Amino acid sequence: MRSPLRQTVHCVLFALFCFTFVGCSEPRPDDLPKLQSVVLTFTQDGQPCDGATVFLEPVDQNPWGVGGATNSSGVVVFKTHGKYVGAPAGKYKVVVQKIENELSGPAPDPNDMYAPQPETNSYNLVDTKYENAASTPLEIEVVQGTKFAQTFELGKKIKEKLKKPGEK
């Protein structure tokens, strides 16, 4: 069962990525602070960790959402509010999640719209301690007027099945 915090993080990340691809033509908000370049690299077992979603959870009362996704080199370039490259100055907890979904049976016949759908199993591919601000040990401080770059090692590769609602 997913925790409310985890669901909130999923919703925020989804909103960030939607804003990224919708391409809104609204002007830059007047109250958006100057953004600093933030580039983080994530490795797992010493190899690039691609396809992870990463969110910077402000330690202070910063209202701006900052997030992104790792590329094939494990690098994420952050965007604030889903559109503006960089992050406001401040202290952040770094939240990382990587989930894989697999069908647990044969794929349905694409020509039979009434065919039963196979169940899907979801797996955490990164240690769950990184998935929320309360448990992640990863922190950064973005300083006004500087570019920030750092590499984080996420430990051993895992494949931990997520429990479905009601599953023990």
End-to-end CA gap in the chain:
9
What are 37's two structure tokens?
A: 């370049």
pTM of the predicted structure, to 2 decimals: 0.75
Answer whether 79's CB lies under 8 Å from 46's CB: no
The average pLDDT across 146-162 equals: 93
Give the C-alpha separation, 168 to 161, whole Å. Answer: 12
R_g (Cα) of the chain, nearest Å: 18
- pLDDT tens-digit series, residues 84-108: 999 999 999 999 999 999 887 777 7
Confidence of residue 162 (pLDDT cuts 50, 70, 90): confident
Residue 165: strand, helix, or coil: coil
Residue 130 DSSP one-character state:
G
The predicted pLDDT at position 120 comes to 85
Question: Torsions phi, psi of 15, nearest 5?
Answer: -60, -40
Could you read off the pLDDT of 27-70 as tens digits, one per residue? 777 788 999 999 999 999 999 999 999 999 999 877 888 999 99
CATH homologous superfamily for the domain 4-97+130-156: Immunoglobulins (2.60.40.10)
